[in-house]
């Protein structure tokens, strides 16, 4: 089966198809893991980064790269979210008057 040409276009080393697979894997793993290790915290981010490293060492090839990248991005996002605190939530709610309360820890 031939992949549509748009999906084979690259941005850096990744194709659009790679990016879609990474996004899909991230979305699924985030929903599953949030029940066990939380989401958007420093701890959940650290666990996901460690899991990504372990996953890539155990699952080789493109599948491992896709899954590892998804977990790495999700873990990094959790760490950034934990440092940004309420600022991200207030932006999403349209509160851009500069009154967001940022909690570092």
* Whole-structure pTM value: 0.72
Task: State residue 105's pLDDT score.
Answer: 43
Q: Exposure string (b/e) for 12-38, b if CB count within 10 Å is 16 or more?
A: eebbbbbbebbeebbeebbeebeeebe
Each residue's pLDDT tens digit, 40-92: 889 999 999 999 999 888 988 999 999 999 999 999 999 999 888 755 555 55
**Cβ-count burial of 97 within 10 angstroms (0-12 exposed, 13-18 middle, 19+ buried)?**
exposed
Which residue did the predictor score with more confidence, 54 or 9? Answer: 54
* Residue 13 in this model has a pLDDT that exceeds 50: yes
- In which band, very low, low, confident or very high, does the pLDDT at 103 lie, cut at 50, 70 and 90? very low
């Amino acid at each position: 089966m031939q992949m549509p040409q748009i999906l084979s276009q690259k941005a850096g080393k990744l194709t659009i198809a790679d990016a879609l697979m990474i996004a899909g894997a991230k979305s699924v793993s985030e929903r599953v893991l949030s029940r066990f290790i939380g989401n958007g915290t420093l701890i959940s981010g650290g666990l996901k980064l460690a899991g990504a490293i372990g996953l890539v060492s155990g699952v080789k090839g493109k599948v491992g790269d896709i899954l590892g990248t998804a977990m790495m991005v999700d873990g990094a996002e959790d760490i950034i979210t934990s440092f940004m605190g309420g600022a991200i939530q207030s932006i999403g709610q349209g509160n851009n008057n500069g009154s967001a309360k940022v909690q570092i820890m």
